[in-house]
Amino acid sequence: MRRIAVLALVAAAACAAAQKQTGASASAAQICASVESLRVPSVTPESPADAKRLKNCAEDDLYYGASPLQDVDSTAARRCALYDWNVRHGPVPVNSDDSNGNYDFSTQTLVMIFANGDGVPRDLDLAMRIACKEVFPLDNSDNGDSENDYQSELIQVILKLAKMKSAASPARFDYCNGGARLSDWPEKLVCESIDTRLARKKRESHLAELVAPWTEEQKDAFTRARAAFNQFEEIEERTENTCSVPVVICTMDIDDRLETDFASAIDRFEQGKLPASTHGQYGDAKYALNAFYQQLLSQTFQSNRGQMMRIRDAERAWQVYRDAYVEFAKLRWPSVSGDSWLTLLNNERMKQLRNLPLH
């Protein structure tokens, strides 16, 4: 009897959720009908060079300023997104030569631009019209009567935009920071990538400030150490990756961690927090690392020879990085012994190997 009651409650909850979703869809449909006549602007390339830029631009980079060499540019983001949006969502079928092949973030970018008035007068009706196009396509050629997760998300966005329109002082709408319940994994990846790239840009800017007053000899040695680190990072990310989804999703976090650790160490040393170890401590760290490395090779030889080879390749790349880093560090902080740098680097590598996911 109790089981029947529980099942009844579950069924009632599911029914209520479905009714709520149906109500949201109906409300969104009414809103979309009210803005159906609005025309989404189009973009005409001003020159062959401009056409090439529009075909290869990234609206998310331009809107958030996430590219290393690009700050926020709302005007360029709008032109980029409008061009991409019209290519992908206009009446003319998508031509592979016109599409840049990247994940389409044009709808999200345009919604934010017009909802916030970034470089244009705020126009919440147009923002809703752009979102509505994907939920209730006018030609009814796709999506049918079923509502997928992405459409459900956009319905909530449309309702939120309608509330903003009625607010006296509407807050900014940020798609990647609380503006929507991201249900589509490419969307989540774009937003996570934006956060990661913005953090990287800030980190690299700070690192450049630290390096600026160094001597040319120190800068050259640092450039060599950084290049060796990048080679190690590229191999290490393949060693640590265990995801079945596209590699970029997992390696983005691995890259961010390795690069953060690298930059944080430079920052720490520039503040005078330098390592100090004896030759004996270096010997202990070297012995422990070699023993553990051999143990890993033996273990993965039995279970996963592919991973064993990746561990071996990463270790060889790390050794090149280690030597280049010690050469640089001796020039930049000559008061610190080579044994101290080697001890530090060996201990850091030991932590990386201990945390290595084996599969």
Instruction: Report pLDDT digits (tens) over 139-164.
Output: 444 444 445 778 888 899 999 999 99
Q: Read off the pLDDT of each residue in 13-40 and give the average, rounded to a whole number.
A: 76
Instruction: Report pLDDT digits (tens) over 296-308.
Output: 999 998 888 889 9
Instruction: Report pLDDT digits (tens) over 311-322.
Output: 999 999 999 999
Least confident of 94-98, 129-133, 182-186, 208-212: 94-98
Q: Read off the pLDDT of each residue in 20-36 and give the average, rounded to a whole number.
A: 85
Same domain for 136 and 50: yes
Number of domains in the chain: 2
170's torsion region: left (phi>0), alpha (psi -120 to 50) or beta? beta
201 assigned to some structural domain: no
Domain C-terminal end among 137, 165, 183: 183
Q: Read off the pLDDT of each residue in 72-92 and give the average, rounded to a whole number.
A: 88
Alpha carbon distance 210, 204 (integer Å): 10
- Give the structural domain span for 243: 214-354
Which residues, in sequence order, are CB contacts of 187 under 8 Å at separation 6+? 103, 105, 108, 150
Same domain for 325 and 220: yes
* Amino acid 70: pLDDT: 83
Same domain for 324 and 221: yes
Instruction: Report pLDDT digits (tens) over 185-241.
Output: 678 888 888 999 999 999 999 999 999 999 999 999 999 999 999 999 999 998 988
Same domain for 102 and 145: yes
**Taking 70 as the threshold, does the pLDDT of residue 174 lie above it?**
yes
pLDDT band for 75, please (50, 70, 90 cuts).
Answer: very high
pLDDT band for 92, please (50, 70, 90 cuts).
Answer: low
CB-CB contact of 279 with 324 (8 Å): no
Same domain for 162 and 26: yes
206 assigned to some structural domain: no
189 assigned to some structural domain: no
Percentage of the chain lying above the pLDDT 90 cut:
65
pLDDT band for 349, please (50, 70, 90 cuts).
Answer: very high
Distance of CA 284 to the CA centre of its chain: 39
pLDDT band for 359, please (50, 70, 90 cuts).
Answer: low
Same domain for 158 and 262: no
| Residue matched to tokens 């450049």 | 208
Same domain for 145 and 9: yes
Instruction: Report pLDDT digits (tens) over 281-299.
Output: 999 999 999 999 999 999 9
* Amino acid 182: pLDDT: 72
89 assigned to some structural domain: yes
Instruction: Report pLDDT digits (tens) over 42-53.
Output: 999 999 999 999
Q: Read off the pLDDT of each residue in 258-276 and give the average, rounded to a whole number.
A: 97
**Taking 50 as the threshold, does the pLDDT of residue 12 lie above it?**
no
Whether pTM > 0.85 for this model: the answer is no
194 assigned to some structural domain: no
Alpha carbon distance 150, 103 (integer Å): 14
Q: Read off the pLDDT of each residue in 265-273 and give the average, rounded to a whole number.
A: 97
197 assigned to some structural domain: no
* Amino acid 236: pLDDT: 94
262 assigned to some structural domain: yes
Same domain for 151 and 80: yes
How many angstroms separate the Cα of 253 from the Cα of each of 43, 64, 181, 182, 264? 36, 19, 21, 19, 16
| Residue of 205, 344, 221, 214 whose CA lies nearest to 273 | 344
Mark out the alpha helices in 212-304 (DSSP H runs): 216-240, 247-270, 279-303
Same domain for 153 and 20: yes
